[in-house]
């Protein structure tokens, strides 16, 4: 078997690889977190570090980085992506948000549409939601399987283990070929989600974010938590780790996401390409030509 890099950092938010993760013990809030001002100041420094690391990643052109964000509605995925990556070069960065599958996407396997959006070497790619919707939303609403044109009789109990196996194989294949995968579950509490939904109703500039369907999904909260617990336990691996980030405090959440990304990139020992002696000689000749021009 080819070497599969195990790129993860020791973190209190790392989902263990032994299937021992329980949602009920995963905090949504950290009481001794730095205050908002301190979080923003530290985040700014990390954004500068990430900018330098991204330049080296792009120049070396050996790894790609895939960042997966999953969460309940109003957990802060969009704002976190916007804040954490505010300093990166758009030339080496891409974000893709997965919505309801199209007719064309339903004519392929469930990993096809995300595989088409993977970042190329040298680039950072963000999935705002991902193929994990197929073992989260679809598990909570198994009636969606009827529209997926699956062959044979659908086993709504056993299909999830098969999908977990497909995801593990897919992520291991990507890691083996140079894709560094970091997955974030932004763990917001049910009460905090309610407050944020009310804020969307009360503040006119946030009205556009409000959806009655999001509120309806709150009725399935416990089933979603069960689905998240099963998915994270089945797919957190050293080469594709999950981090369950407390999300009730947005500044702390953004800081923690940035710390995790920067620490992971630092592990790659990124280096700018070394110029060969032959190239140096060519450069010397070109320098002379330019200086005489």
The answer to whether residue 214 scores a pLDDT higher than 90 is no
Tell me whether residue 158 is in a domain. Answer: yes
Tell me whether residue 264 is in a domain. Answer: yes
Tell me whether residue 12 is in a domain. Answer: no
The answer to whether residue 2 scores a pLDDT higher than 60 is no
Mind listing the pLDDT tens digit for each residue in 145-168? 999 999 999 999 899 999 999 999
The answer to whether residue 172 scores a pLDDT higher than 90 is yes
The string of DSSP codes covering 148-166 is GT-SS---TTTHHHHHHHH
Tell me whether residue 127 is in a domain. Answer: yes
Cα 152 from Cα 147, distance rounded (Å):
13
Tell me whether residue 254 is in a domain. Answer: yes
Please tell me whether residue 107 adopts helix, strand or coil conformation. coil
The answer to whether residue 293 scores a pLDDT higher than 80 is no
Residue 55 belongs to domain spanning: 23-292
Residues 6+ positions from 239 with CB-CB distance below 8 Å: 4, 5, 6, 7, 8, 171, 172, 175, 181
Q: What is the mean pLDDT of the chain?
A: 93
User: Which pLDDT belongs to residue 155?
Assistant: 92
Percent of the chain with pLDDT over 70: 98
Cα 13 from Cα 242, distance rounded (Å):
8
Contact yes or no for 163/110 (Cβ under 8 A): yes
Stated as kind and residue range, the H or E segment containing 32 is none
Structural domains counted in the chain: 1
User: Which pLDDT belongs to residue 1?
Assistant: 47
In the numeric block, which tokens belong to residue 212?
């009655």
Residue 264 pLDDT grade (very low, low, confident, very high; cuts 50, 70, 90): very high
Tell me whether residue 105 is in a domain. Answer: yes
Tell me whether residue 274 is in a domain. Answer: yes
The CATH code of the domain that includes 236 is 3.40.50.300
User: Which pLDDT belongs to residue 6?
Assistant: 73
Tell me whether residue 106 is in a domain. Answer: yes
């Amino acid at each position: 078997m080819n070497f599969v890099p195990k790129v993860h950092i020791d973190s209190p938010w790392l989902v263990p690889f032994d299937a021992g993760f329980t949602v009920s013990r995963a905090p949504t809030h950290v009481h001794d977190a730095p205050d908002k001002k301190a979080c923003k100041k530290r985040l700014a420094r990390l954004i500068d570090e990430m900018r330098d690391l991204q330049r080296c990643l792009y120049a070396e052109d050996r790894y790609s980085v895939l960042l997966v964000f999953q969460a309940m509605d109003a957990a802060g995925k969009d704002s976190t992506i916007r804040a954490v990556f505010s300093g990166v070069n758009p030339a080496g960065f891409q974000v893709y948000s997965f919505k309801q599958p199209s007719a064309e996407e339903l004519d392929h396997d469930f990993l096809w549409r995300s595989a088409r959006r993977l970042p190329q070497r040298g680039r950072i790619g963000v999935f705002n939601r991902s193929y994990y919707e197929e073992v989260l939303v679809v598990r909570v609403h198994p009636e969606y399987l009827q529209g997926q044109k699956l062959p044979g009789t659908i086993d709504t109990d056993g299909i999830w283990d098969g999908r977990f196996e497909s995801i593990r194989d897919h992520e291991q294949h990507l890691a083996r070929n140079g894709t560094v995968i970091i997955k974030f579950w932004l763990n917001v509490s049910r009460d905090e989600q309610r407050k944020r939904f009310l804020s969307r109703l009360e503040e006119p500039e946030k009205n556009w974010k409000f959806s009655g369907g999001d509120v309806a999904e709150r009725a399935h909260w416990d089933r979603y938590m069960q689905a998240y617990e099963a998915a994270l336990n089945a797919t957190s691996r050293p080469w594709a780790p999950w981090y369950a980030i407390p999300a009730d405090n947005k500044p702390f959440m953004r800081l923690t996401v940035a710390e995790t990304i920067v620490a992971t990139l630092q592990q790659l020992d990124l280096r700018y390409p070394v110029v060969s002696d032959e190239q140096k000689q060519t450069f010397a000749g070109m320098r002379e030509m330019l200086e005489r021009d």
